[in-house]
């Protein structure tokens, strides 16, 4: 049964023009391992060539494309002649270290033959969790685009535990789309899009052409609509679509097997599932805070501070009763009340060690305690969003 928040093909056909697909100027294209290998054990150089030709054709239209690419681990395994399933985190990270340079060489050769250069950008979760690093990563990507270079982005597999999981480059692509303010995110998959059921088991499974709201019915469809990587494969794509659309980025999940999928989408061809963006997305720091990046730590506040935040105030040291975890200035932190409920998340003005020293004291006493002039707010109201029913999405987890 079609989820409530999807539309029939005819309506989606009409609506697609209104969600900015054909007019997109800055595009993030996510390419998974299955698209690069065709289901085999090694990356197929012909597929990289085809991908480069698709992207180059779009760049010639005076559009910008950032490629988020998986494939480092399988490339490393192929180079070393390993065909068995990879076991163990350190083994996977070692294969990624071997495979990433070769994968980039193949991308560089394919794009160079088309008159384009590529630049490697390896990101970690910390690049998104720390506001300063987040801004620096954005400037780096924009500088590459400004020079006419196609950025090839991957998570830094050799140092990032979170990368070694099925489908998390889907989430990375959504974070990158948010980071650079993309108009369009296209996620290439080994299925045609979000289906009503698993097409490998049910011949009557139908494509859901458009999703206007990611609700429980869409999540159920994602669990039923498998990719070759397993049930989680489509679920992570839905998570990515949620992140991107909440930031105002139109998102399309579509099959990577058809020739020039990106060019054809931008020319108006309707394929895959379109996820319609929020009409009034957040901007700036609030958009960054709402990404759901794991917070670096937690501060616990009293009832008075909780009410002050709900009224639109800043978090002052006087209202802090406990500090958990370690964080630095500019990093996202979780704010909880004494009952453990999530109140907000925000950007800390202080390192955790200093918050411990000043918690419970008046703002006028901070300089005396620390011996230096310092901000009077632990978290300024401009760097804070409320959680859940208080006005913004609750923070999912801490780190």
Q: Is 44 annotated as a binding residue?
A: no
Q: Is 178 helix (H, G, I), strand (E, B) or coil?
A: helix
Sorted by sequence, the CB contacts under 8 Å of residue 317 that are 6+ apart come out as 355, 358, 359, 360, 361, 362, 363, 366, 378
Bridge-based pairing of strands 332-337 and 315-316 is: unpaired
Place of tokens 């609509």: 225
The rounded distance, in Å, linking the Cα atoms of 109 and 224 is 39
pTM for the structure as a whole: 0.80
157 labeled part of a ligand binding site: yes
Least confident of 7-11, 55-59, 149-153: 7-11
In terms of average pLDDT, the best of 19-33, 157-171, 246-260, 311-325 is 311-325
Token code pair at residue 215: 């609700």
CB 261 within 8 A of CB 21: no
Q: Is 154 annotated as a binding residue?
A: no
Residue 4 counted as an annotated binding residue = no
Q: Please give the helix or strand (H or E) that residue 143 lies within, else none.
A: helix 131-146
Q: Does domain 9-287 have CATH number 3.40.1160.10?
A: yes
Q: How crowded is residue 292: how many other Cβ atoms within 10 Å of its Cβ?
A: 20
User: How far is CA 104 from each of CA 32, 75, 151, rounded to the nearest angstrom?
Assistant: 15, 10, 11
Tell me: the pLDDT tens digits for 309-319? Answer: 999 999 999 99
CB 215 within 8 A of CB 3: yes
Q: Which DSSP letter does residue 21 get?
A: S
pLDDT of residue 324: 97
Edge to edge, the sheet with strand 384-386 lists: 320-325, 297-301, 332-337, 342-347, 384-386
Q: How far apart are the C-alpha atoms of 366 and 371, rounded to whole Å? A: 8
Q: Is 376 flagged in the annotation as binding?
A: no
Q: 79-138 pLDDT, tens per residue?
A: 998 877 777 778 888 999 999 999 999 999 999 999 999 999 999 887 887 788 889 999
How confident is the model over 214-253, as pLDDT tens digits? 887 787 777 766 554 433 478 889 989 988 998 889 999 9
Residue 180 and residue 245 in contact, taking contact as beta carbons nearer than 8 Å: no
**What CATH number is given for 294-390 in this structure?**
2.30.130.10
Q: Where are the domains of the chain?
A: 9-287, 294-390
Residues 6+ away with beta carbon under 8 Å from 27:
58, 63, 64, 65, 66, 182, 183, 184, 185, 186, 262
- Per the annotation, does 70 bind a ligand? yes
Q: What CA–CA distance (Å, rounded) separates 194 from 207?
A: 6
Task: Inform me whether the pLDDT recorded for 284 exceeds 80.
Answer: no
CA distance 223 to 39: 21
Report in angstroms the alpha-carbon separations of 42 from 38, 45, 46, 297.
9, 9, 12, 40
């Amino acid at each position: 049964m079609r989820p409530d928040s999807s539309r029939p093909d005819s309506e989606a056909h009409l609506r697609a023009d209104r969600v900015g697909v054909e007019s997109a100027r800055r595009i993030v294209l996510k390419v998974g391992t299955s698209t690069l290998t065709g289901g085999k054990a090694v990356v197929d150089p012909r597929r990289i060539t085809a991908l480069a030709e698709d992207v180059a054709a779009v760049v010639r239209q005076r559009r910008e494309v950032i490629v988020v690419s998986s494939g480092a681990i399988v490339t490393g395994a192929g180079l070393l002649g390993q065909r068995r399933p990879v076991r163990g985190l350190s083994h996977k990270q070692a294969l990624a270290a071997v495979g990433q340079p070769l994968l980039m060489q193949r991308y560089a050769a394919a794009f160079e033959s088309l008159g384009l250069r590529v630049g490697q950008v390896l990101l970690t979760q910390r690049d998104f969790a720390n506001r300063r690093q987040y801004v620096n990563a954005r400037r780096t990507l924009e500088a590459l685009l400004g020079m006419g270079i196609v950025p090839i982005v991957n998570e830094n597999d050799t140092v990032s535990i979170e990368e070694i999981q099925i489908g998390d480059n889907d989430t990375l692509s959504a974070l990158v789309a948010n980071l650079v303010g993309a108009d369009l995110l296209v996620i290439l998959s080994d299925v045609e899009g979000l289906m009503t059921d698993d097409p490998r088991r049910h011949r009557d499974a139908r494509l859901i052409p458009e999703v206007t709201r990611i609700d429980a019915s869409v999540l159920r469809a994602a669990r039923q609509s498998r990719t070759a990587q397993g049930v989680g494969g489509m679920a992570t794509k839905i998570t990515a679509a949620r992140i991107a659309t909440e930031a105002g980025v139109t998102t399309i999940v579509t099959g990577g097997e058809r020739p020039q999928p990106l060019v054809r989408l931008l020319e108006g061809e309707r394929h895959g599932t379109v996820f319609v963006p929020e009409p009034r997305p957040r901007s700036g720091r609030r958009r960054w805070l709402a990404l759901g990046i794991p917070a670096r730590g937690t501060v616990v506040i009293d009832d008075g501070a909780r009410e002050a935040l709900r009224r639109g105030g800043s978090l002052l040291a006087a209202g802090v009763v406990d500090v958990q975890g370690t964080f630095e200035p500019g990093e996202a932190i979780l704010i909880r009340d004494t009952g453990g409920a999530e109140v907000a998340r925000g950007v800390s003005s202080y390192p955790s060690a200093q918050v411990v020293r000043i918690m419970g004291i008046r703002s006028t006493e901070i300089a005396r305690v620390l011996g230096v002039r310092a901000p009077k707010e632990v978290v300024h109201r401009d760097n804070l969003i409320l959680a859940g029913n208080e006005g913004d999405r609750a923070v999912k987890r801490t780190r």
